[in-house]
Chain A
Amino acid sequence: MKVLFLEDRPDRQKLFLPNKEKDVIELSQISEINLPKENVCKEILEQINVGRFVPDEKLKLIIVHRSALKSSGISYLNGIGKNTKIKLIYFSGGISQTTYFNDSFEQININSSDFYSDLLIPFLKRFIEDENTNLLEVYNKNWKLSYLLLYRQIKSNLEIETDDVGANSPKRIFERRIKNLEKILGNELTNQIDLNIDNLILNS
């Protein structure tokens, strides 16, 4: 299975998913998603907490209730992410601000009510088809806008950066980042960046 979904409070799904029971059923019927029930879920969480969980080779994404993990578990799971590039989604009611990271591996921390939105099921279906689907899509339809704004910000800084000594100089790092973002966004968007940003904001 490509996706492991660890929800230790299944009632929460019924509470927050827009179409309640209907969405829960649909979620459980998506192939390639492992949604272990109760005791099995708790067992896996315990394995993660004690550093004994070994991910399946096919696994590409782990979704887990963050509050169900101890520090050791979070650390262990992040280690798995780093080593295997498995993507991580942590959700919890206590998360007040969504934070997204893509340093050595992709990870997002998101509030439960933002996570259980009408974007979740379409995101999962897309992810199963294409593992390169960006995690930002799980909570934000406007993920392209986010990248465009970031692209523009880095570009502005690149223009005034003068330190270009060495392969890892600030200027070179910025240039690499710009290239990466251009790959994600495509030339069509980055060529007329201000106009595209203005339009996306207007329509948001």
Chain B
Amino acid sequence: MNSLLIYNDSITSSTFISDFKANLGEAFSFRITTATLNKEDFSFDKVASDFLLNVLPQKIYDVIFLPYNLSDENYLELAGLQIAYHIRLTLEFNNKYTPIVFYGNETPYQINKITKAGEILFTSNVYSTQKHSIDSFKEVADKILTQGNIFDFEKYFLSKISIKPSGNYSSHHSIANEWSILRWANFLKIESDKINEIRNSIGSSLYFKYLKARFPSKKSDSDNSALKLKNKGKVLFIDDELNKGWEVIFNEITKDIPNDCKYFVGNEFKGKSAIEIENTALESVKKFDADLVILDLRLHDDDFKEKVKLTEITGYKILEKIKKHNNGIQVIIFSATNKIWNLQALQNAGADGFIIKESPENSVDESFTNQSITNIYTAIDTCFEMSFLKDVFYKTRLIKNTFLEVKKDDIGEFKNIKLLIKQKLETAFFLSKSNKTIDFALFEYIQILEAYCNYYTFLDKKNNKAIVYHNNNKVINNRSNEHIIYEIKNDKIISEFEYEKDYYHFQKSFKENDKQYVNYKKNQTEYANDKGFFSFSLKLVAVLCAHLGDTNNLKSIMELIFIRNNKIAHSGNFDHTKRIILNSDIKVTFEVIRQLITKTF
């Protein structure tokens, strides 16, 4: 007979133990000592798992005998039941199907009345006896050995029990966190002390073992070496459980980003009030000048209250504060939430992406993990691509609050153009945030250029010339304030443009010895013709030369105007896929506008 007895020597007869060893098999004492109690990470599950790891794996026993109680003082802990659950739910112990016999004066029905953990007593291969003698144990064991051991684990065990997470597990001891961390660490093949620490601590948790048994994952040979970030930037991670393993995970995902471009904040949130957390987070964003923030949604105990509104959650408030500070900073929300209305609300509040933590229910197989992690890389890359908006937002706000601020003396056309540009800059920024509306962002920016050019240029028909003003002092024929684009004298055009095949040369200065010509490729549909046609293209060339002194971006802008015109005028016939508007187009156009405004307003 190859049986095992697990007992507590302070409440079990030594005579009985000796008899058991002599007749039935082996016996080991399970007892929690003072030394174990002193450990910071003490948990019953860990002690139980460590004990069973020492006792079980080497052998598959015929029968395991357990008393209901293994506690020195508190019978109702019913630790024997907990030990049995660990045996059933831990593959590594090699005794998943081994018959278990509980002994004690109580009936299974009485035990089940006392505790829900008593459910195990009504599953396959679990027996009980109220007789406390070696002979009765032998009798029970002999009967059991005539039956087979293997049974449908799902049907006759898992479906008959339920193990709940311990209360307060939804806050700082969330199983979703630990589950995600381990899944992702396994997939990314991360080996680190921190991950091993989690494996050891959570790996021994009965609830975690139960989840693993209920939601087993298939081993995958996924090659994740192709996963790499294509773009770079400065990323700030805000999470109160960084030290639980998230820092390790995110460091691995962002390993191609230099260390001085990554910053982690949140370990210090413990014990802080919600408002303190919000302020610390925002200060970090400002100080680190992050391009991208990966922000955990729930950072404070109050965030886990049952009926808490999304808008009251700390992460939501931080999102709002970041977007108010700079709407161009990209924010990815990191959360276990799968409620679509929450995600929509977060998107409306400005969230630029989501990383959803895996939970046991949705990670049935490793392809889910594969997809989750691939999505993280995509989300981060997309946000880095959009991170130029941080600069655009900052500069837009600066321009609006300085150069475009309407002053008391501003009247008429000058006042109107300031207001117009201000409004269009705002609109253009919002439209830039999505590739669905980026075309319209460009249209807005080009409209700003058109308004600007119209304001600063003038077709003086009376004097047969076209001019560009240097500043707001728009007095006609004031040579100090105007720059002649072309002039018609004696039926001849004296143009500061010289037209050569496919190019315009624009004379930058009247000084004979200062003739510099700027070339740009002739726009195919617009040109300054002999009749004095004063096109937008011509105005733009003139303005850029006169106000900025260079036309470095002229070619790009002219191309964009051409595209804009065709998209609007020939929308039905224009093949939009041939030339999609890119973020770089927005950057270029905005920069030209910014330079013009700061130079002249």
Q: Which residues of A contact B (CB under 8 A)?
A: 8-9, 11-12, 15-16, 42, 67, 69-71, 74-75, 78, 93-104, 107, 109, 111-114, 136, 140, 142-143, 145-147, 149-150, 152-154, 156-158, 160-163, 170, 173-174, 194, 197-198, 201-202, 204
Contact = CB atoms under 8 A, between A and B. Distances in A.
A99 B74 contact: yes
The 10 closest A-B pairs by CB, nearest first: A113-B167, A93-B168, A97-B44, A100-B74, A149-B75, A157-B13, A71-B40, A161-B13, A146-B76, A96-B166
26 contacts: A9-B271, A12-B168, A67-B172, A93-B166, A94-B173, A95-B166, A96-B44, A96-B206, A97-B44, A98-B74, A101-B73, A102-B72, A103-B72, A109-B42, A140-B76, A145-B75, A145-B114, A149-B106, A150-B75, A160-B16, A163-B15, A170-B13, A170-B15, A201-B106, A201-B114, A202-B113
Contact of A157 (B12, B173, B301, B304): B12
B25 to A, nearest CB: 18
B69 interface: yes
Interface string B403-445: 0000000000000000000000000000000000000000000
Nearest to B271: A8
Nearest to B76: A146
A146 B106 CA distance: 12
A78 to B, nearest CB: 6
Contact of B79 (A94, A97, A152): A97
A174 B11 CA distance: 8
Nearest to A93: B168
Contacts of A154: 11
A12 B301 contact: yes
Given A109-B42, A160-B15, A142 B76 contact: yes
A147 B166 contact: no
B110 interface: yes
Interface of B: 10-16, 32, 34, 37-40, 42-45, 67, 69, 71-77, 79, 82, 104-106, 110, 113-114, 132-133, 165-169, 171-173, 205-207, 271, 300-302, 304-305
Given A9-B301, A15-B302, A204-B113, A107 B74 contact: no
A160 B57 CA distance: 31
Interface centre among B67, B76, B106, B304 (most CB of A within 10 A): B76
Interface centre among A42, A74, A152, A157 (most CB of B within 10 A): A157
Nearest to B9: A170
Q: Taking chain B's interface residues, is the majority helix, strand, or loop, or is none over half, making it mixed?
A: loop
Q: Taking chain A's interface residues, is the majority helix, strand, or loop, or is none over half, making it mixed?
A: helix
A163 B77 CA distance: 28
Nearest to A151: B75
A170 B17 CA distance: 12
B113 A201 contact: yes
B600 to A, nearest CB: 56
B172 to A, nearest CB: 6
B11 A71 contact: no
A96 B75 contact: no
